[in-house]
Structure 1
Amino acid sequence: MEKRLINPWQWQDARGYVQAVEVKNVSGTLYCAGQAAVLPDGTSSDADMATQLQLAIGNLEQVIEEAGYEPAGIVRLTVYTTSHEEFLPCFPQLIEWVTRHGIKQATTLLEVKSLYETLKVELEATVVK
């Protein structure tokens, strides 16, 4: 697999993402459903945003690894949150995870009216290898 990062500017570097990722010679593509703070028994967490973000990251990582991929292969990440005011102070958690895995992904952050039940954040990813 070949990845080429497209960044006409530098300001996004501090925010942990790239403007675009071109991928060639892919041997597989994994489209992950949105992963949120859903516990192993299927119940939704009612914890604070930081805790829910950590759970969502853990769930996304588990899906990726069980499919035989690696988090470093994430090329697209969409973040849905019910409150950008609550989410933005937690954004460093996401950047730390992205940095730790060497992920270089195009990211979109969306504030939505609501998520299922008590959920506050959901992560949707496209992963390649």
Structure 2
Amino acid sequence: MENRIIHPEGWAPAKGYANGVLASDGTLYIGGQIGWDAQQVFASDGFIGQMEQALINIRTILEAADGQPEDLVRLTWYVTSKQEYLDNQRAIGEVYRRVLGRHFPAMTMVVVADLIEDRAVVEIEATAVLKRRS
């Protein structure tokens, strides 16, 4: 099996990057997802709304590769405000569990000065190992 680009049906084209790459060994690399929807439109400027959409995007890419949240092995979060993250931990946990369940892979949080998309306040990249399912 060769590496395969994963692009969910109905999503606007990714320009200059891939949303996901499924490697021949079953590892799924999900590029950084931000708080815009399948048509690359932001519905929220707030941290919680954008975080939720980024996690939904990750789940959608997983599902497009026949994966599920339990296949996630790593998440790396890039946030523009440490304080906003700290002030919203309860809501973050509630949203996370609603979107990805109670599966908690290895995670890293990095505070950055800015993100490429001007409206983005959070970006999350993921790695999953897809199990063969019969």
TM-score, length-normalised on structure 1?
A: 0.70
Query: What residue is the counterpart of 1:62 in the other structure?
Result: 60
Q: Equivalents in 2 of 1:67, 1:90: separation in Å?
A: 31
The aligned counterpart of 2:119 is: 118
Task: State the structure with bigger RCO (CA 8 A, min sep 6), 1 or 2.
Answer: 1
Corresponding residue of 1:37: 35
Shift of 1:101: 2.6
Task: Report the Cα distance in structure 1 between the residues aligned to 2:88 and 2:65, rounded to whole angstroms.
Answer: 27
Are 2:48 and 2:92, in contact at CA under 8 Å, matched by a contact in 1? no
Match of 2:127, SS state, is strand
Which protein has the bigger helix share? 1
For structure 1, the 5+ residue unaligned runs are 1-26
Aligned length: 103
Q: 2:72 aligns with which of 53, 68, 74?
A: 74
Give the TM-score normalised by the residue count of structure 2: 0.67
Which residue identity is paired with 2:128?
A: V
In structure 2, the partner of 1:22 is none
Identity %: 31
